[in-house]
Amino acid sequence: MDSFEFNKFAGAILFTLLATLGVGILAEELFTPHHPEKPGYEVAVAEGGDAGEAEAEVEEVVELPVLLASADIAGGEKVAKKCVACHSFEDGGANKVGPALYGVVGRDIASVPDFAYSDAMKEHANADGGTWTYDNLFHFIADPKKFVPGTKMAFAGIRKPADLADLMAYLQSLSDSPVPFPEAAAPTQ
């Protein structure tokens, strides 16, 4: 290779490096990043008032019988669409990933034949006295992993109490002999 060929290669490499450096400097000038004085995100906090007012609002706790008294079966049927992938709701329905739910209210916990319950659910059935009451169903569906640690149910739960009450009303309607809702306690004076 003669010196003229070498100079062409060296010139091409130097031009590429110079062009890359120039584009980098130009990009920094055009797109200058804005660095905050203090790194992180600013969280807006309500000002004024005492410390008690600044705390997160606590949702009013309503007793289950009161929720059930205003529950809507049609609303519960809509909520139950989240469960259809794993459970059947019709009379004589087959077990899927989860057991069939027709007649679940008042039924013994972990008692559906031909369904492989987790050991945790079987232990819970023995420890709890063994039936699916409205209270048990309400708390289980709200947070299955918390109510029965070790359950195979992978559902995260339904957090809204009104949706849970609607679902309880729908589950009550899925029975040949529906279990009545619990009575609300009389207010004490």
CB of 109 closer than 8 Å to CB of 132: yes
Cut 0.75: pTM above it: no
Angle between helices 161-173 and 134-142 in degrees, nearest 10: 130
What distance in Å separates the CA atoms of residue 55 and residue 45, rounded to the nearest whole number?
10
Residue 54 has what pLDDT?
43
Least Cα distance to 127 among 110, 145, 106 occurs for 110
Q: What is 58-70 written as a DSSP string?
A: PPPP--HHHHHHT
Token pair in block for residue 133: 């009451």
Rounded to whole angstroms, how far apart are CA atoms 123 and 118? 9
pLDDT at 168: 92
Top-confidence residue, 61 or 46: 61
* Amino acid at residue number 70: S
The torsion angles phi and psi of 161, rounded to 5 degrees, stand at -60, -35
The tens digit of pLDDT for each residue in 47-67 reads 555 545 444 444 556 788 888
- Which top CATH class is 64-173? mainly alpha
Domain ranges of the chain: 64-173
User: First-to-last CA distance in the chain?
Assistant: 107
| Owner of token pair 């705390």 | 55
And the tokens for 69? 């008294």
How many Cβ atoms are within 10 Å of 170's Cβ, its own excluded?
A: 22
pLDDT in tens, 141-178: 999 999 899 998 988 899 899 999 999 999 999 999 88
| pLDDT grade for 17, boundaries at 50, 70 and 90 | very high
Distance in angstroms (rounded) separating the CA atoms of residues 19 and 129: 79
